[in-house]
Every structure is written in structure tokens, then in C-alpha cells.
């Protein structure tokens, strides 16, 4: 059976007390002691806590939006306003394009 890849962060089979096996794979002991994949505390390390809080906040917002009809109406009204502004901007660009095209045609006719 082949040995696991020591660079795989999902395999935590390396024991910090077993320096001989760690040296075999080129892993110093200090790297194992500072392993970010080991859990410390209730939610793990600091990054895990931040990720958990972000996920909880996103979940709370999604739950609020999906369960509150007034929030849904307000969001859809906002999307409607933004899309109408976008459409009017596109129409304005089309008009400017046509004006520029007409000017170029007028200049070609005059020469």
C-alpha cells in the first residue's frame, strides 16, 4: 500500500509525537504543531470562527428574505427600478449611436 501524500491537508494521519515518520516525509515538528487544520476551542481556529459567523449571517439574511413577503416586494421593486434605469441607458446609447451614424452619413454626402 502506498503512503499518503504528506502535503494533502485533508489527511491528518501525521502524529506530532512521531518525529521519525514525520522526518521520513520531510515534515518538521513545528509545522505539525502549527497545523491550521487542528481544532482549538469551540469553533476551531480564528478563521473558522470568521467563516462560521459569515455563514450564519448569510443564512439569517436568506431566511429573512425568503420568509418575509414585504422584504421580497421591496427587493423586487428595487430590481425593477435598476433594470428600468439600465434599459433607459441602453436606449440613450442607441440614440447617440444613430446620431453619430447620421452625422457621418451627412459628412460623406457633403463631400
Domain ranges of the chain: 1-38, 41-110
CA separation (Å) from 82 to 77, 86, 89, 96, 107? 9, 6, 11, 21, 38
- Which pLDDT score is estimated for 44? 58
User: Is the pLDDT reported for residue 31 higher than 50?
Assistant: no
Name the pLDDT band for 29 (thresholds 50, 70, 90): low
| pLDDT, tens digit (0-9, with 9 covering 90-100), for 42-100 | 555 667 888 899 999 999 999 999 999 999 999 999 999 999 999 999 999 999 999 99
The answer, as to whether pTM is greater than 0.85, is no
Amino acid at each position: 500500500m502506498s503512503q499518503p501524500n504528506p502535503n494533502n491537508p485533508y489527511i491528518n494521519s501525521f502524529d506530532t509525537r512521531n518525529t521519525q515518520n514525520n522526518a521520513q516525509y520531510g515534515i518538521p515538528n513545528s509545522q505539525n504543531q502549527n497545523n491550521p487544520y487542528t481544532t482549538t476551542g469551540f469553533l476551531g481556529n480564528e478563521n473558522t470562527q470568521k467563516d462560521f459567523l459569515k455563514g450564519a449571517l448569510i443564512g439569517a439574511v436568506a431566511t429573512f428574505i425568503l420568509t418575509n413577503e414585504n422584504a421580497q416586494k421591496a427587493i423586487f421593486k428595487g430590481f425593477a427600478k435598476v433594470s428600468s434605469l439600465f434599459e433607459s441607458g441602453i436606449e440613450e446609447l442607441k440614440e447617440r449611436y444613430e446620431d453619430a451614424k447620421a452625422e457621418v452619413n451627412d459628412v460623406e454626402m457633403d463631400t
